[in-house]
Amino acid sequence: MAKTWLRRSVLACGVLLAIPVSAQSIDAAKLSSVGVFSLLGDSVQASWAEDKPTGTRVDRNGGQNLDFKGIGFDLIALRASDAALKRANPRVQTGLYRAPQELSPAQQRALSEGAAKAELPAWMVATINKDKLDHLLIITRQRGTISADTADSMAIGRGAVEGIGFYLDTLYTMRNQTTGALSSGLIAPYAQIRYQLMEVKSGDIVAQYDVRESFAYASREAQGSLDPWMFMSNEEKVRALRDLVERGTERALQNLLAAKR
């Protein structure tokens, strides 16, 4: 992927600064023309704990091959961002963009890290110049520790996950809150997404927010499948991931655009 040094290619840009995970915010009234770049793509990851059992439907590294094409993560993130920006500042002009080709989670992390060193892909820099954007909102997949919320407000999980997908684990004995059934194992849809707001004139990342969200689901039946992948239907899996992206984007924008005190 070709990258462009912003200090040279966009004369108004300087060096970008790394921002802590905790959110900083910007006054939405200062925004005029914002380019929202959702680079999420449609891939779905799957992550097992180290002691993954045999006889399951999903391999440890099978996430890229899961059949969820057309799930629409970018469209969800772009629409939610656009709505939040216009609620915060009805006069703001927005441009909504996706990557010209799908980027792997590792490529997205590299792009996010590159932004902190004043590097962005050439196609993004060309868009900045062509559309005269004064701010960018860059949305990328990240990697982090899994912490899945249960119905009784516990947080469980072992190890790290990446991007958007499902964490599966057979260590825990779970109770389904709807049916009361006890089962071994869980499936947890998760989202690990970074939102970086960049000011083009200064080149600074003026706000950043990381979404790290996951919810644990148990089997509905006490004598059901021993494979946690089967605890949810495909329709439920798709709906859960879409909801995580939509709610995560809304929460991120609420934090990024909080009024200055």
224 in any annotated domain: yes
* Contacting residues for 37 by C-beta, under 8 A, at least 6 apart: 97, 98, 99, 124, 136, 137, 138, 139
248 in any annotated domain: yes
144 in any annotated domain: yes
261 in any annotated domain: no
Whose CA is closest to 52, among 191, 176, 164, 159?
Answer: 159
94-98, 103-107, 221-225: segment of lowest average pLDDT:
221-225
| Lookup: tokens for 77 | 């993130």
Output the pLDDT for position 59: 58
- At 55 the three-state DSSP class reads coil
Pairwise CA distance, residues 257 & 244, whole Å: 20
Of 111 and 29, the structure prediction assigns the larger pLDDT to 111
What residue type is assigned to position 241 of the chain? L
Domain extent for 13: 3-256
260 pLDDT more than 50: no
DSSP calls for 189-223: EEEEEEEEEEETTT--EEEEEEEEEEB-B--SSTT
Q: What is the pLDDT of residues 24-63, one digit of tens each?
A: 778 888 899 999 999 999 999 988 876 665 556 665 544 4
State pTM to two decimals: 0.85
Helix (H) or strand (E) holding 56: none
Pairwise CA distance, residues 161 & 157, whole Å: 10
78 in any annotated domain: yes
28-42, 97-111, 213-227, 240-254: segment of lowest average pLDDT:
213-227
77 in any annotated domain: yes
Residue 102 burial (10 A CB sphere; 0-12, 13-18, 19+): middle
Q: What is the pLDDT of residues 155-192, one digit of tens each?
A: 888 889 999 999 999 888 888 777 878 878 889 999 99
Q: How many domains does the chain have?
A: 1
Taking residues 94-100, report their average pLDDT: 97
